[in-house]
A and B are shown apart, each in its own frame.
Chain A
Amino acid sequence: MAKKVGVIRFLGTNCDFDILKWVQNKGQNSEFIWHEDQFNTQDFEALILPGGFSYGDYLRCGALAARSPVMKSVNEFAKQGKPVLGICNGFQILCEAGLLPGALIRNDSLRFKDEWAQLRVVNQKSYFGEKLNPDQKIQLPIAHGDGRFYADAETFKKIQDQNCVWLKYEKNPNGSMADIAGVTNAQGNVFGLMPHPERAQFSWMGSTDGDFFL
């Protein structure tokens, strides 16, 4: 039976339909989940938190979304070892929720970066990272103002020791620590990245490297 992927929508999420179509194009079922609802973790095989500007980026990017009712279920889902992927604002939300290490702060250039990024795979992971091999180069678009990955010394050491670095930029666009573009949790079932794989589905989009993630 095809997998069912839950796509979580917050106020201000704006890549939700792209992701729904992306998942459906891959022959999987997908369904939206509203941020005020909670869900039965048995109903889904995987979850994706899309990008956007949840709650207008008020307080801090992802801070308010990370504390909305649906996150109780997301947390439970992640604790069961099931796969969760956060893209862009979804990545910020997962960091704010404590499901991923570190934080994402304003780009060092202070500019919103909307461009193609060349990425290098650091560690192979299961689920969303299954088809990505170490040292593989891929190209995905980025579109963010707050994508500079930051971790304090202790957190950074943990990230490295536990092989949590997933993707790195070949050319750092935002001042991210150690060129980090994506990380996972220590268990390897929660994923976050700033680039947008759902915006690289077809060759007319400029790249099909999003294929590797589903």
Chain B
Amino acid sequence: MKCFVKVMPREVILDTQGRVVETHLKKQGFKIEQCRIGKMIELDLTVQTPDEMAAEVQKMMLAGLYNPLIEKYEILNG
């Protein structure tokens, strides 16, 4: 069973990468207010139900897939 986890830098963190891309896009004249860059993790799990999947992914996140001090995450179903 597949799912995606979106991991983003917390709002309070200066997202340097996003800031550079934002400046670049603005200079090119694109209608953009803000750009933030995170990452997407694709997981293919050996579980049978969505509940099991959510529980397993949550365990993985807490085991270190994200750092709660600087990041937040959201589980998206595949």
Contacts and interface: CB of A to CB of B under 8 A. Distances in A.
B12 A59 contact: no
Contacts of A103: 67, 69-70
B47 to A, nearest CB: 22
User: Chain A interface residue count: which class?
Assistant: 20 to 34
Contact of B67 (A63, A106, A107, A108): A63
Nearest to B63: A67
Contacts of B69: 102-103, 150-152, 155
B17 interface: yes
Interface string B1-29: 00000000000111011001000000000
Q: How large is the interface on B (under 10, 10 to 19, 20 to 34, 35 or more residues)?
A: 10 to 19
B67 A150 contact: no
A96 B64 contact: yes
B16 A108 contact: yes
Contacts of B14: 108, 175
Given A59-B65, A60-B67, A96-B67, A152 B12 contact: yes
Contacts of B20: 110
Contacts of A78: none
A108 B20 CA distance: 10
A186 interface: no
Contacts of B13: 105, 150
Given A59-B65, A66-B64, A96-B64, A105 B17 contact: no
Contacts of A108: 14, 16
B23 to A, nearest CB: 11
A64 B65 CA distance: 9
Contacts of A175: 14
15 contacts: A59-B65, A63-B64, A64-B64, A96-B67, A103-B67, A105-B13, A106-B17, A108-B14, A109-B16, A110-B16, A110-B20, A151-B69, A152-B12, A152-B69, A175-B14
Interface of A: 59-60, 63-64, 66-67, 96, 102-103, 105-110, 150-152, 155, 175
Q: Which 4 A-B pairs have the closest CB atoms?
A: A103-B69, A106-B16, A103-B70, A110-B16
Given A108-B14, A155-B69, 10 more contacts: A67-B63, A96-B64, A102-B69, A103-B69, A103-B70, A105-B13, A106-B17, A110-B20, A151-B69, A152-B12
